[in-house]
């Protein structure tokens, strides 16, 4: 029997899987690095930012109130 043909490094699919694994890990690390580099500015602004929700008095329009 020829055992050289059954070596793992001869099979092209194994190299494809290894390349895909390495590229996936590199992409994940690049994504984490980008996320740490571009922090969310809203977290640094603190409570001084305006609320995206309308005020509670908006449910009652001014013209519907009694003078």
Per-residue pLDDT at 7: 85
29-48: per-residue pLDDT in tens? Answer: 999 999 888 876 655 555 55
Residue located via tokens 């290894």: 18
- CA dist., res. 40 & res. 49, Å (int): 13
2-33: per-residue pLDDT in tens? Answer: 555 568 888 899 999 999 999 999 999 999 99
Handedness of CA 45, 47, 52, 55 (dihedral sign): negative
- In this prediction the pTM is 0.49
- CA dist., res. 53 & res. 46, Å (int): 17
Confidence of residue 55 (pLDDT cuts 50, 70, 90): low
């Amino acid at each position: 029997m020829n055992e050289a043909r059954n070596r793992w490094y001869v099979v092209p699919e194994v190299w494809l899987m290894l390349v895909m694994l390495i590229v996936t890990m590199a992409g994940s690390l690049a994504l984490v690095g980008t996320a740490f580099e571009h922090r969310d500015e809203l977290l640094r602004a603190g409570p001084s930012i305006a609320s995206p929700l309308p005020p509670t008095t908006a449910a009652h329009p001014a013209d519907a109130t009694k003078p």
